[in-house]
Amino acid sequence: MSVDAWTSALVLGGIRSGKSEFAESLVAAALTDQEGSTVRYVATAEIGDDPAWAERISAHQRRRPVEWTTEEIIEPADLLRSLGNASAEEIVLVDDLGGWVARLLDLDAEAQEQQIEALGWSVGACKATLVLVSSEVGLGLVPTTEIGAAYADLLGATNRTVADAATQVALVVAGQPSWLKQSASRAPAPAGKAAAAKPAVVVPPQEVPEVITPVVADPTAALSAPTMTLPMVATGLVIQHGMDLPMPNEEAERDLTARLATLDLPGAGFGGLSGILAFAAKTQGTATPSQWRSVRVMLVHADFLGSAAAGVDAADSQHRADQARAGAGPIGVLAARLGASLQVVDAATAEPIDLGSATTPEAVEAALRHGWRLAEEAADAGVDLLVLGSCGAGTETTAAAIVSSITGAEIAGLLGRRVSADGRVDDTAWMLRCLAARDALHRIKSVGNNARDLLTELGGAGMAIAVGLMLGATARRTAMVLDGPLGVAAGLLARDLAGQARHWCLLPDHGGDPTTKLGADVLGLDPILDLKLDLGEGASALAAIPLMQSALALAESLWQGAPPAVAAPAETEPDAVDVAGLESAAEPMPGGPGFNAPSGAYPVTEA
């Protein structure tokens, strides 16, 4: 995997994992890209009296090019000075941090903490292109001695601090690297322990994203109506728990059932599609619903930093969002075939959920209002069906964490394994995502399941926008189609703020995703299809809508020639019957051996 625009990288791995070789390959690649740069190798290990250890160090020395200069550190402060004195024309390789941590064992706890914190600052402020190597604690032997346990604790704290400060973090297993963190620019140096790192200030989205219609020649046409805020926001009110929003028309749904009984249909009639007709009836407020006239896809683009996004490159989600904007890719093509407009909603990148809050409460509030505002603009433009989709690195993990927090389900059972384009199952990424979600759930176990708190700690701005979209659509009596983990997780959070929201939602297909299946079950949403598409969240909904429209079109045409539904008459006393006449007019009963007349098939007279 190529990594662009990196300035510092931490390479983690177990014993003999190939982490040093991979780090050296990063240095070689950087040296190729930065002509005229020099390489400085910072060695941290003490040779001592162990011949085997001395041979391993010698092997590292033989592998390094002769042009590289070597610097050995004696005291912990030597590494800090070395990084502080590095120039922008240098490439510095530190191998490895374990040797540096070993020199901290003679210090007291306060001095150890200060040295680790100072190392984080030094990594973040280093002017050189920096590569650091360290052993991942969880991939080594469990220490059986007190000093071994102390070393493992210090190394784990050091790894977390450096990983927070570095722009890139890779894990090497059996010689195969996986990127855990990728950022386009240098991260700020940490102000303290990694676990206490504060999330970056999120700038709330203000501009309404461009609306495109892939089948129209001029796809740049935007909404003609001016941007309006909700009356409830304009009057100083806020989106809050227990809002009284409108419910769909359940009486229209009952009348539809009566009308369906009057249609001349073979067999079981509409079968599973009758649920589509019922949903259209109650959300349109009529017993004779028609096809949806204007469909809009709202594609939420939101990425997460850290292990929650393991196995997914943020550049790939950006590519998918750009494809959709251009009316290309699965979402763009399916929207074009459907004649739907499409709106890509960019959200601020969320912080690693296993280390701290995904975003700030202020950003959540702004994102909720922004989502509601987008739903209101869509309704003003005549949209009567919204499709919620998403693309983003880490959204599946955070959606699973939210569903797990609400339902108590085990996170490992909610996160499906990621399969690459070549059919390879990435178990390493799955494990990292599970660990990130578990750490996040442990971190917030005292927070509770309040929607705002879960959005702040786990969901981020992207999820908050999705929740705001649902609430705004509910307020404007606009039906919404969900598709995938983000949709059902947002539905559960929207239910906490306004219980009516889930009744305006439809889930055509759960796609076999365990998070989506469980979330849909809690929301009471019954899928009608089982396509198992994996083309991005929103694609299954777009593929199902033509079938839904066909069912409405057929019902609409049949209703035009059908008699109006009539309620069943009240029961009355039956008229007197001439039994003798019935006996004389009755068809003779067949007889013969072995004949058994069905119960009630023929009139029975008393002797």
User: What is the domain-level CATH number for residue 337?
Assistant: 3.40.50.10210
Domain presence at residue 311: yes
Domain that holds residue 104: 8-193
Scanning 4-94, the segments in alpha helix (DSSP H) are: 19-33, 51-63, 76-85
66-109 tens-digit pLDDT: 788 888 888 888 898 888 888 888 999 998 898 899 889 888 88
580-607 tens-digit pLDDT: 343 333 334 434 433 333 333 333 333 3
Give Dmax over CA atoms of the chain in angstroms: 119
Domain presence at residue 332: yes
* Lookup: tokens for 138: 């969880």
Is the domain of 471 the same as that of 358? yes
Is the domain of 152 the same as that of 300? no
Distance (Å, whole) CA 128 – CA 188: 15
The CA distances from residue 188 to 88, 134, 165, 203, in Å, are 17, 20, 6, 17
Smallest CA-to-CA distance from 210 within 362, 381, 329 is with 381
Domain presence at residue 493: yes
Question: In 10 A of CB 470, how many CB atoms?
Answer: 29
Domain presence at residue 451: yes
Report the predicted TM-score, pTM, of the whole model to 2 decimal places: 0.58
Residue 503 is predicted with a pLDDT of: 92
Classify residue 47 as left (phi > 0), alpha (psi -120 to 50) or beta: alpha
Scanning 527-607, the segments in alpha helix (DSSP H) are: 539-560, 579-585
The CA distances from residue 251 to 143, 257, 503, 553, 594, in Å, are 68, 10, 14, 21, 52
Domain presence at residue 1: no
Domain presence at residue 237: no
Is the domain of 493 the same as that of 356? yes
List residues bridging with 8 in a β-sheet.
Answer: 130
- Known catalytic residues are 60
Is the domain of 327 the same as that of 443? yes
**Which string of DSSP letters, residue by residue, matches 146-182?**
HHHHHHHHHHHHHHHHHHHHSSEEEEEETTEEEEEEE
Contact 43, 70 (CB under 8 A): yes
Is the domain of 183 the same as that of 313? no
Contact 172, 22 (CB under 8 A): yes
Phi first, then psi, for residue 9 (nearest 5°) are -140, 135
Residue that is last in its domain, among 138, 171, 193: 193
Smallest CA-to-CA distance from 181 within 316, 22, 19, 310 is with 310
Looking at residue 79, which CATH number applies to its domain? 3.40.50.300
Looking at residue 455, the DSSP 8-state letter turns out to be I
Contact 391, 299 (CB under 8 A): yes
Domain presence at residue 150: yes
Is the domain of 188 the same as that of 308? no
Is the domain of 187 the same as that of 52? yes
Smallest CA-to-CA distance from 292 within 540, 547, 467, 530 is with 547
Contact 321, 411 (CB under 8 A): no
Helix or strand or coil: residue 131? strand
Question: In 10 A of CB 106, how many CB atoms?
Answer: 9
Which residues does the chain have with pLDDT short of 70? 1-5, 47-64, 140-142, 144, 183-238, 267-268, 418-423, 532-533, 561-607
Residue that is last in its domain, among 159, 193, 227: 193
383-416 tens-digit pLDDT: 999 999 998 889 999 999 999 999 989 998 998 7
Residue 357 is predicted with a pLDDT of: 93
Contact 384, 478 (CB under 8 A): yes
Is omega for the bond preceding 96 within 30 degrees of 0, making it cis?
A: yes
Contact 202, 363 (CB under 8 A): yes
Is the domain of 392 the same as that of 528? yes
Distance (Å, whole) CA 274 – CA 551: 8
Distance (Å, whole) CA 454 – CA 398: 10
Tell me the Cα Rg of the chain.
32
The CA distances from residue 569 to 260, 313, 566, 572, 575, in Å, are 18, 64, 8, 9, 16
Scanning 198-247, the segments in alpha helix (DSSP H) are: 231-234
Place of tokens 């176990």: 445
Residue that is last in its domain, among 546, 569, 589: 546
List residues bridging with 177 in a β-sheet.
Answer: 172
Residue 232 is predicted with a pLDDT of: 43
Smallest CA-to-CA distance from 342 within 320, 370, 309 is with 320
Instruction: Provide the domain count of the chain.
Output: 2
Distance (Å, whole) CA 282 – CA 296: 20
Domain presence at residue 2: no
Residue 138 is predicted with a pLDDT of: 74
Cα of 63 vs its chain's centroid, Å: 43
Is the domain of 49 the same as that of 182? yes
Is omega for the bond preceding 422 within 30 degrees of 0, making it cis?
A: no
Is the domain of 173 the same as that of 321? no
155-200 tens-digit pLDDT: 999 999 999 989 999 999 988 998 888 764 444 333 333 333 333 3
Smallest CA-to-CA distance from 285 within 247, 244, 243, 258 is with 247
